[in-house]
Amino acid sequence: MQAARSLPVMSSWVTLGPLSAIPEGEGRTFDVGGTRVAVFRGRDGAVYATQAECPHKNGPLADGLLGSGTLICPLHSLKFDLSTGHSSSGDCSLRIYPTQLSAQGHVLIDM
């Protein structure tokens, strides 16, 4: 697992950096003002942001498997819908954060 990067929080929308820093089909963990966030770049160009740890077993979600808007936790294979945060089992949900891309290709997240 990669070390989280610390970024200051200056407004509700925070710039995390260039989208190119997150390979397609993968996730990365960021520390935003003390909150750990996992950011994912889908192969279809979609960008998602969630809490960094699985609520079930604290698995590092950025290390999970990503596909078609679904994330699979690396510790216990629980599936999450990245647009809603809901798990396939209905037992728990992820906190999700709205994302957008800037004109310069940077990932923005609404904290």
Domain of 87 in residue numbering reads as: 5-110
pLDDT tens figures, 26-80: 999 999 999 999 999 999 999 999 999 999 889 999 999 999 999 999 998 899 9
Report the alpha-carbon distance of residue 56 to residue 69 in Å, rounded.
20
> What is the total count of domains within the chain?
1
Q: What is the pLDDT of residue 13?
A: 94
Which DSSP state fits 21?
G
Are 84 and 91 in contact, with CB atoms under 8 Å apart? no
Q: Measured on CA atoms in the order 81, 82, 83, 87, is the torsion positive or negative?
A: positive
CATH number for 97: 2.102.10.10
Are 58 and 29 in contact, with CB atoms under 8 Å apart? no
